[in-house]
Chains A and B, each alone.
Chain A
Amino acid sequence: MLEINNLMVFYENALAINNLSMQVNEAEIVGLLGSNGAGKSTLMHTISGLTLDMKIKEDRRGGERITILGEMKFRGKDIMNTKPSDRVKMGIVLCAERHPVFPESNVIENLKTGGYLRKQSEVKEMLEYVFNLFPALVELKKREAGFLSGGEQQMLSIGTALIAKPSLLLLDEPLLGLSHAIQPKLVEAIKRIRDETGIAILVAEQYARPLLRILDQGYVIENGSLTFSGTGKELIDNPDVKAAYFGV
């Protein structure tokens, strides 16, 4: 459903994404593994349109510091010049790194904000689904999001993204900063989302070990280009990948 060919992203003269091609198929969980600064977040932002938004705002002020080249297609449609809100309408929703919730709004308000572009009935339906997926949020409905724990904020932030009704959900480092007790639960939830709703998920992670078993496809990114791609199983078996990313 998502097809990227020869994508290049420059920040000033720095090459953040270098000639990258990849794809995500319908109802797949795809892993994007890489260390800090490898280009994971830049790629996620470029797919969701945030990089383009930044570029447009820069250009208006007369700056020309961001360049995006290449081809990006979503369900056959070119999205290189589609602004973020239209990409959300098409079904591409990003849940950014470090669970960025709206701290001064309460949990239910956060979730409803996710339904900005959706009909009331769709929002209601998805709310039910999110509370079913993360029952812990039910008790916290009226709590201000800024007062939630890291794990709760991550659940809220994924929940909010789900209310936006994605067909491709981009999760940027969902496990970052979470305790080892919570990580497997979240991984289980990610798998449930795909199994129960058929949403395709592209998940970027640095410490990928807990994720490995649920991946259909995996890519390894280094210095802005892909150094490995294959099925989840090939990823696990590859000795280089093992040594570099799973601490074996």
Chain B
Amino acid sequence: MLENVLIYGLINGMVLALLAIGFALTFGISGIANFAHGALYILTGYTVWVFLHTLGTPYLLAIFLAMAITALIGAAIYNVILLRIRGMRSSEIIATFALALAILEAFRFFGFVGAKYTLPTFVEGSVSVAGVIVDYQRLILIGVGAGLVGLLWFFTHYTKTGLAFRAIAQVERTALTLGIDSDRMATLSLAFGAALAALAAIVLLPLGQITVETGLNVLLNALAICILGGLGSVTGIVAASLLLGYAQIITVTYIAPHWLMVVTLVAIFVVLLVKPSGLFGKQKELEERV
């Protein structure tokens, strides 16, 4: 029982981290809360499905194409929709949320509903870890999550674009005086965030069914993690994901599965009461973070 909680808590934590990291990245760099994050996640799932089943593209190629498409849509969201309302935070949220609803309802409208909308796992089979059965897809997602965190850390500390991301997130005006273009950075931040939503979808969707409703759940989870962890750092996101991941699994195992969503909401509630800047947030005020 305990081994089960330990291993599946870790997996659940990694799932949450994957869902939230793109949202947090975009917001951290450009201050834009992309409420279409969950819709992009689902969009990627359906895109891969269409490539696989309608066009017969090989799985690996379909994955890369879907990620590229989602990233381009992310960039387009900034340049077509957000450009004119940049800096007006509530308008940004309303616009991206409206887009999310439009994307999700369009899929429902065109009949993307039903049990046939699933993606194949990368590798079939499972393995026993300390007496607990874990399938390969879940092991892969732990690897992808951990790898991604490492890669992001390297990217933001050792590459020009990464340093520019951190610079513009800290003091926009100084970044401008050094030749860092704010529109270019915002476009990139949305494209990166979208690509990370796509990556999460590709790794996580094979574990279940692609449904329209998942889109809003993904958004809610991403928001919960960001509020919990505070949008200061990747560390905050990972720590919050693990915390919430374990809390959810412990609740499911020892209390009852239907309390699952309550855990998330209670966690948000308690953190907002006790430390509104999030557990790892750096002085940022509440309204600055959604």
Contacts and interface: CB of A to CB of B under 8 A. Distances in A.
B85 interface: yes
A108 B62 CA distance: 41
Given A84-B176, A94-B177, A113-B180, 15 more contacts: A61-B85, A85-B180, A96-B174, A100-B173, A102-B170, A102-B175, A104-B166, A105-B163, A109-B166, A114-B178, A115-B160, A117-B178, A161-B178, A164-B178, A164-B179
Given A102-B171, A105-B166, A116-B163, A96 B177 contact: yes
Contacts, number: 88
Nearest to B83: A60
B164 A116 contact: yes
B282 interface: yes
Interface in B144-184: 157, 160, 163-164, 166-167, 170-171, 173-182, 184
Given A102-B166, A105-B166, A113-B167, A57 B174 contact: no
Given A50-B173, A102-B166, A105-B167, A116 B86 contact: no
Interface centre among A57, A94, A113, A157 (most CB of B within 10 A): A113
28 contacts: A53-B182, A60-B86, A61-B85, A61-B86, A61-B88, A83-B181, A84-B181, A85-B176, A85-B180, A88-B177, A88-B178, A93-B177, A95-B177, A96-B177, A101-B171, A102-B167, A102-B175, A103-B170, A104-B166, A104-B170, A105-B167, A112-B160, A112-B163, A113-B164, A113-B166, A113-B167, A116-B178, A117-B178
Contacts of A85: 176, 179-181, 184
Most buried by A among B167, B175, B182: B167
A89 interface: yes
Which has the most chain A C-beta neighbours within 10 Å: B177, B178, B180?
B177
A225 interface: no
Contact of A57 (B86, B160, B166, B184): B86
Contacts of A109: 157, 163, 166
B108 interface: no
A84 B163 contact: no
Contacts of A104: 166, 170, 282
A50 B178 CA distance: 11
Contacts of A117: 178-179
B84 to A, nearest CB: 5
Interface of A: 48-50, 53, 57, 60-61, 83-85, 88-89, 93-96, 100-105, 109, 112-117, 157, 160-161, 164
A104 B171 CA distance: 10
Interface in B172-211: 173-182, 184
B174 A116 contact: no
Nearest to A165: B179
Interface of B: 83-88, 157, 160, 163-164, 166-167, 170-171, 173-182, 184, 282
Nearest to B91: A61
Given A60-B83, A61-B87, A102-B170, A113 B163 contact: yes
A65 to B, nearest CB: 14
Contacts of B179: 84-85, 88-89, 93, 116-117, 164
Contacts of A95: 177
Closest 9 CB pairs of A and B: A88-B179, A117-B179, A85-B181, A94-B177, A102-B170, A100-B174, A113-B167, A85-B179, A113-B163
A104 B170 CA distance: 7
- Interface on chain B toward A: helix, strand, loop, or mixed SS? helix
A84 B177 contact: yes
Pick the most buried of B83, B84, B173: most chain A CB atoms within 10 A of its CB: B173
Nearest to A157: B174
A113 B175 contact: yes
B176 A102 contact: no
Nearest to B85: A61
A46 B173 CA distance: 13
Contacts of A84: 176-177, 179, 181
A109 B166 CA distance: 10
Interface centre among A57, A95, A102, A114 (most CB of B within 10 A): A102
Contacts of A164: 178-179
Nearest to B159: A112
A165 to B, nearest CB: 10
Contacts of A102: 166-167, 170-171, 174-175
Contact of A61 (B84, B174, B175, B182): B84
B254 to A, nearest CB: 40
Contacts of A116: 160, 163-164, 167, 178-180
Contacts of A53: 176, 182
A45 B189 CA distance: 26
Contacts of B86: 57, 60-61
Nearest to B232: A104
B170 A105 contact: yes
Contacts of B84: 60-61
